[in-house]
Amino acid sequence: MKSPHSQEKTLPIPTPHIEVDRLGIIADTVLMPGDPLRAKYIAENYLENPVQFNSVRNMLGYTGTYKGKKISVMGSGMGMASIGIYSHELYAFYDVKRIIRIGSCGAYSKDLNVYDVLLVDSAWSESSFAKAQGDIDDDVMLATPALNDEIAKVAERLGTKIHRGRIHSSDVFYRKNFKAFETIRDEHDCLAVEMESFALFEYAKVLGKEASCILTVSDSLVSGQVTTSEERQKAFTKMMEIALEMA
Ligand code: HPA
């Protein structure tokens, strides 16, 4: 195995985290839920002829077809460090063209209810990820506008109402000062919080790739509402169908 940091032109595959040794196994489009078991569920219930391509660290990945079109689905894990590793390897070493993250978020806005679906236009973060990765000082990273517009069209065709806007990609789930979210929301115009999009969008930007993120609201920091796992599954299905139809 070659070092993934190597400057050689040949691809360092398999990578330390994905055990696929050739191109063509992973599709151009990868759907990325945070939970690898969610990836397994999508593959087994929605894809035709799914074949598992990764089990390293149990970060399950599958390729199959949806309505005849080749597509992959793979877990990202939680947080920017984790999605950063997987998205970089998929984009840079496996020639993946677009990643659509499908995840959950906590609502910062009173206008968002649990189970609502949110298409992320941009992610603000306090994280040093972009600075450390690419010496980029921006604290906002953008989803790919054309891909987002296509996703919005698909949602409209399916009759699924979506919200659009900026979210907070947080470095921390458990904050000492819970109320800090109000300042972040008001100063940075964030509708909701999750922990991955900023890093995904940063890699898409520096590697010339496409990225989008569709989120289901799983809890509200404003109202204290939480979801049951059964209803979460139903709401998740709406989001996933948008992503699959898109692909
Ligand atoms: N914080 C961070 N990420 C999340 C949350 C949250 O409250 N809910 C769902 N993803």
For residue range 44-83, list pLDDT tens digits in order: 999 999 999 999 999 999 999 999 999 999 999 999 999 9
- The CATH code of the domain that includes 200 is 3.40.50.1580
Residue nearest to atom 6 of ligand 1 (CA): 106
Domain assignment of residue 180, yes or no: yes
The pTM score is: 0.95
Q: According to DSSP H, which parts of 137-228 are helical? A: 145-158, 180-188, 197-207
Q: In the predicted model, is pLDDT for residue 233 greater than 80?
A: no
Q: How far is the CA of 184 from the centre of ligand 1 (A)?
A: 14
Cα 44 to chain centroid distance, Å, stands at: 20
The atom of ligand 1 lying closest to the CA of 219 is 8
Q: How far is the CA of 193 from the centre of ligand 1 (A)?
A: 5
Residue 8: pLDDT band with limits 50, 70, 90? low
Q: In the predicted model, is pLDDT for residue 157 greater than 80?
A: yes
Residue 39: pLDDT band with limits 50, 70, 90? very high
As a whole number of angstroms, the distance between CA 159 and CA 161 comes to: 6
Residue nearest to atom 2 of ligand 1 (CA): 194
As a whole number of angstroms, the distance between CA 17 and CA 227 comes to: 32
Residue nearest to atom 7 of ligand 1 (CA): 106
How many separate domains does the chain show?
Answer: 1
Domain assignment of residue 93, yes or no: yes
- State mean pLDDT over 14-42: 97
Domain assignment of residue 1, yes or no: no
Q: In the predicted model, is pLDDT for residue 9 greater than 90?
A: no
Residue 158: pLDDT band with limits 50, 70, 90? very high
Q: How far is the CA of 119 from the centre of ligand 1 (A)?
A: 16
Q: Which of the listed residues 195, 217, 227, 232 should we mutate to test ligand 1's pocket, taking the one with most ligand atoms within 8 A of CB?
A: 195
Average pLDDT score, the chain = 94
As a whole number of angstroms, the distance between CA 204 and CA 97 comes to: 9
Domain assignment of residue 35, yes or no: yes
Domain assignment of residue 237, yes or no: yes
The atom of ligand 1 lying closest to the CA of 194 is 3
DSSP codes joined into one string, 205-226: HHHT-EEEEEEEEEEETTT--B
Residue 5: pLDDT band with limits 50, 70, 90? low
Residue 179: pLDDT band with limits 50, 70, 90? very high
* Per-residue confidence (pLDDT) for residue 138, from 0 to 100: 98
Structure confidence by residue, pLDDT tens digits, 140-155: 999 999 999 999 999 9
Q: In the predicted model, is pLDDT for residue 89 greater than 90?
A: yes
Q: Domain range holding 78?
A: 29-246
Domain assignment of residue 135, yes or no: yes
* Per-residue confidence (pLDDT) for residue 229, from 0 to 100: 79
Token pair, residue 31, equals 């759907």
Q: How far is the CA of 168 from the centre of ligand 1 (A)?
A: 10
Q: In the predicted model, is pLDDT for residue 4 greater than 80?
A: no
Q: In the predicted model, is pLDDT for residue 3 greater than 80?
A: no
Residue ranges around ligand 1 (CB below 6 Å): 104-106, 170, 173, 193-195, 218-219
Domain assignment of residue 4, yes or no: no
